[in-house]
Structure 1
Amino acid sequence: MLLRHELGEVLRERRQQQGRTLRDVAAAGSVSLGYLSEVERGVKEASSELLGAICEALEVPMSVVLDDVTRRVAHVESLSAPVSLPVGDRGAVVSASAA
């Protein structure tokens, strides 16, 4: 899991919920259309300044966007929580990742 992918998904979902185009949000935030597209696809990392401009253009507080990202990351982490598996003849237990 990469944080930039989760952030990009949240930004895209917010934009689409508003029925707005990439071009509209890019213009409103004074952000390059290509760069915004790359951020939404998780190809590029968004600086705090760029993220602030995008959030302002979407009229969504950065704290709300980051909270959405946090929830997505927590969900992904819960899917890969360690599980205990019995190993060997003595019933020893080892931890393994479920993912």
Structure 2
Amino acid sequence: MTTLLREVIGDVLRRVRVEQGRTLREVSDTARVSLGYLSEVERGRKEASSELLSAICGALDVPLSRVLSEAGDDMALEEARTEVSTSRIDASTKVVIPQAVAPVVSMAVA
């Protein structure tokens, strides 16, 4: 399953908020965003506009560029993990490659 950018951005925002020891209510009040909406953004259920992301980042006192950069790094790691897991061939998988079918030639013996 593909990870969505909104989910990764939400994870970064939550990680920053928790590292600061702040509550959803504190950040939502400072950013002037409803508590419920901020929660939905952090859980990756809502796609935040650039204006809303800017307000949340301002409330967290973290540059938007940092949030986007961390989200990009996290997304790249997720893509690399997905690529590795889908490119592995299970050793127990048996593959049968049929031989080329040659035209059947019958010969009559006299």
- TM bracket, shorter-chain basis: 0.7 to 0.9
Structure 2 stretches of 5 or more lacking a match?
90-94, 99-110
TM-score, structure 2 normalization: 0.75
TM-score, structure 1 normalization: 0.83
Root-mean-square deviation over aligned CA pairs: 1.7
In the aligned structure 2, how far is the partner of 1:41 from the partner of 1:24? 17
1:38 maps to 40
2:64 maps to 62
Superimposed CA distance per residue, residues 40-79 of structure 1 (whole angstroms, 9 cap, x where no aligned partner): 0111010000000000000000000001100100000101
1:83 maps to 87
* Bigger fraction of residues in strand: 1
- How far apart are residue 80 of structure 1 and its match? 1.9
Runs of 4+ in 1 over 4 A off after TM superposition: none
- How far apart are residue 88 of structure 1 and its match? 4.8
Identity within the alignment, %: 54
Structure 1 stretches of 5 or more lacking a match?
91-99
Which structure has the greater CA radius of gyration?
A: 2
